Amino acid sequence: MKTFNTMLKTEIKLSLRGMDMFIFAICMPIIVLVMLGIIYGNKPAFAGADYTFLEQSFGAIATIAICAGGFMGLPLVVSDYRSKHILKRFKVTPIKPTIILLVQVTIYALYSLVSLITLLTVATIFFKFRIQGSISQFIIGWLLVMVSMFSIGMMVGGISKNSKTAGIAASLLYFPMLIFSGATLPYEVMPLAMQKTVDILPLTQGIKILKSSTLGLPTVSIIFPICILAIITVICSTVAIKFFKWE
């Protein structure tokens, strides 16, 4: 526990000194929220809908920080520590690799949480946002999305050969999911054919869960996405831990 706390404290400081996560995980979601708020105002999502466009998009925007942490932060920091031989130095100490991963996961979870809280605050105050469905369901869904996306990132960071491979893999995950899963560009404005295509992205499924709980839609429709995310989590975290490379 002492190791975990000390490492967490130091790694948070290091991460804040780097600034990029602050920009991509904290500032960027707010910018997207405010832009959608200004463009669509409090208009209903479609004619006759009993929720606004912004309420419909909230679940998606709440995953931007998760994306930044899971697909950029996590894989890059782990592979960077490997290529700088920091993990090699850790290997000749009693520390367990799971602690190193857990510290990083905690940091990005904290970023995601801070982002969620600031988004909720801004949306509630300026855009009369409220969660119409169950709050507990939203929280559980948000946690599931986070855990599953982070497990993908941990796997990529844990097994990629060097920082270059990790960087490419991270970009291949981050940009498509950020743009096409509905996190920034709303799913609803996409043509039907495009919607069908982006449905294969895990994050699209995750956003469906969040959307359903924000808007109070029937739970039946999200059983499939929940299963998909659970399977991803199990597979990716097993691979990450089993095939973790120090060098």
Partner 1 sequence: MEDIIKVENLSKSYGELIAVNDLSFSVKKGTVFGLLGANGAGKSTTIECVLGTKTFDTGTVWILGLSPKANRKELFENIGVQFQEANYQENIRVEELCEVTASFYKNPADYRKLLLEFGIADKNKALVKELSGGQKQRLFIILALIPNPQVLFLDELTTGLDARARRDVWQILQDLKNQGLTILLTSHFMDEVEVLCNKISILKKGNIVFHGTVKEAIENSPYAKLEDAYLWYTDEEVSENENL
**Of 7 and 146, CB closest to partner 1:** 7
Least Å distance, CB 210 to partner 1, is: 34
**Of 3 and 195, CB closest to partner 1:** 3
* CA dist 60 → 22, 116, 149, 196, 198 (Å): 19, 11, 14, 17, 14
Residue 63 DSSP label: T
H, E, C per residue of 73-85: HHHHHHHHHHHCC
One-letter amino acid of 230: A
Least Å distance, CB 86 to partner 1, is: 5
One-letter amino acid of 191: P
| Binding string, residues 40-59; x marks residues near partner 1 by CB under 8 A | --------------------
Tokens read off for 196: 């069908």
User: Taking CB under 8 A as the criterion, which residues in 2-31 touch partner 1?
Assistant: 2-3, 5-7, 10-11, 13-14, 17-18
| CA geometry: angle 15, 158, 4, nearest 5 deg | 50
**Of 106 and 134, CB closest to partner 1:** 106
Contact 239, 159 (CB under 8 A): yes
Least Å distance, CB 93 to partner 1, is: 4
Residue 164 makes contact with partner 1 by CB under 8 A: no
| CA geometry: angle 139, 142, 145, nearest 5 deg | 150
Nearest C-alpha neighbor of 134 from the set 29, 45, 210: 210
| Binding string, residues 59-98; x marks residues near partner 1 by CB under 8 A | ----------------------x--xxx-xxxxxxxxx--
Residues that bind partner 1 (CB under 8 A): 2-3, 5-7, 10-11, 13-14, 17-18, 81, 84-86, 88-96, 246-247
